[in-house]
Structure 1
Amino acid sequence: MSRALSTALIALMVCGCVAGSPKPLADPAGDLPYRLDSGDRLRVIVFGQQDLSNSFAVDQSGYISMPLIGSIPARGKTTPELQATIAEALRGGFLRDPNVSVEVDQYRPFFIMGEVRTPGQYTYVNDMTVETAIAIAGGFSPRGDTSHVEITRTIDGKVLQGRLAMTQKVRPGDTIKVLQRLF
């Protein structure tokens, strides 16, 4: 009886551990367009207007500050949406038919912690996978779990947490936690 009870208790504890761990994310960033946020650096080109073309950082408030038109909201917008916003602001008394191009010059960083050799903040590289991010952080520590990681990601203002496999994509601003393996 005591052996059956201890087996049942162990089974409950194992089930409790599995139920409490984050669920795998179905890579919610896969099909979504990239949304701008603080820390991104943008290259804005207004064709035929060299004085208005430059590189601008999205500040902590989510704005870029441009000559003539001042602060323009960028947080949460895609680059085409920001192009339209800038063109509309320039049309309001400064240029007749502005032709504007916006590109991400430098993405905001990603963060990695846990069982890696050098945890910290790193520059995001386009199409980065979890495996690449771990390599940038010096690889796994001797106790690192090599099967999956926990990730915290913000999408449309909502903070999501879950697991990603080594081959899934990392996004700018993600926080990756490499867990310690059990054995």
Structure 2
Amino acid sequence: MAFALPNRFEAGRAISDIARGNRIGAWHIRTRGAMMRSLSRKGKPVSVGRMRARSLSGLAGAALLLSACESMETAPLAATALPPASDVYRLGLGDKLRVNIYGEPALSGEYQVSGGGVVAMPLIGDVQAVGLSARELEAALVARYAGGYLNSPRVAVEVYDFRPYFILGEVQRPGRFPTTEGTTVLSAVATAGGYTYRANRKKAYLRRAGETVEHEVSVSENPKIAPGDVIRVGERYF
């Protein structure tokens, strides 16, 4: 029994497979069509069993290659190893602060944590800020100003603009976005314009600020996002 060239129905299936992100299925149909065209030009009929065996062999090879590529990637950690978003916010690079020194309007104002992790304050110069809470920075400023600059200084520190979080992968508008109180994985996806058509909507990968590894998290659990976190939405293959 001989095969004819692929008809429009098979071509349509290939296009549909590509549109759905089913790359292996599309590759399978294209490969079968190419083999049949080549053999038809040579005048050699192809049996159903022979054609099916070649197609399955190629499909198995592609699956093995895909599996090998995935195994080469660093496996993400389980969600159980994900550190929770801290209730006490720690200052980081880029945070913007409002510092009020009572009775000293010339010293009060808005400041930003620099790339060196410090806040440049009038009179006393650079004060280490990264890793401190707002209350701890207040205490550090009081100690510095009390050391020969002000009598019994009183200081209040407020974070008015947090550093951003980042989202990448299969979302409509990947990038950096300002962190607000109560930001979660789902709200971050919504802020980025929602999922693409090929996104995996069941899980995501979350890397906490200061960490070097990702944690695989369930989207249904909707964990909280902290400033500096990185969210990656993966692609579904099937």
What is the aligned-residue identity percentage?
35
Q: Which residue of 1 aligns with 2:217?
A: 164
1:41, distance to aligned residue in structure 2 (A): 0.5
Work out the CA distance in 1 between the residues paired with 2:179 and 2:86.
Answer: 18
Q: 1:68 to 1:123 in 2, by over 3 A?
A: same
How big is the alpha-carbon RMSD for the aligned residues of Structure 1 and Structure 2? 2.3
1:23, distance to aligned residue in structure 2 (A): 2.4
Structure with the larger strand share: 1
**Residue identity opposite 1:68 in structure 2:** L
Work out the CA distance in 1 between the residues paired with 2:79 and 2:159.
Answer: 26
Q: Which residue of 2 aligns with 1:22?
A: 76
1:94 aligns to 2:149 (yes or no): yes
1:81, distance to aligned residue in structure 2 (A): 0.8
Higher relative contact order (CA 8 A, sep 6+): 1
Is 162-171 or 56-65 further displaced after alignment? 162-171
Stretches of structure 2 that go unaligned for 5 or more consecutive residues are 1-59
1:107, distance to aligned residue in structure 2 (A): 0.4
Stretches of structure 1 that go unaligned for 5 or more consecutive residues are 1-5
The answer to whether the 8 A contact 1:130-1:164 is kept is no
1:31, distance to aligned residue in structure 2 (A): 4.0
1:119 aligns to 2:174 (yes or no): yes
Structure with the larger helix share: 2
SS of equivalent to 2:176: strand
What pairs with 1:80-159 in structure 2 (closer than 5 Å)?
A: 80-155=135-210, 158-159=211-212
The answer to whether the 8 A contact 2:89-2:133 is kept is yes
Work out the CA distance in 1 between the residues paired with 2:97 and 2:84.
Answer: 20
Runs of 4+ in structure 1 over 4 Å off: none
What pairs with 1:22-61 in structure 2 (closer than 5 Å)?
A: 22-26=76-80, 27-61=82-116
SS of equivalent to 2:193: coil
**Residue identity opposite 1:134 in structure 2:** V
Q: Which residue of 2 aligns with 1:3?
A: none
Return the index of the structure with the highest Cα Rg. Answer: 2
Work out the CA distance in 1 between the residues paired with 2:190 and 2:209.
Answer: 23
**Residue identity opposite 1:164 in structure 2:** V
* CA deviation map 1:77-101 (0-9, x unaligned): 1111111001100101111211111
SS of equivalent to 2:156: strand
SS of equivalent to 1:159: coil
* CA deviation map 1:108-139 (0-9, x unaligned): 01111100001111111111000001111110
**TM-score (normalizing by structure 2):** 0.65
SS of equivalent to 1:154: coil
**TM-score (normalizing by structure 1):** 0.84
- How many residue pairs match? The answer is 170
Work out the CA distance in 2 between the residues paired with 1:49 and 1:139.
Answer: 47
Work out the CA distance in 1 between the residues paired with 2:141 and 2:218.
Answer: 39
The answer to whether the 8 A contact 2:98-2:111 is kept is yes
1:180, distance to aligned residue in structure 2 (A): 0.6
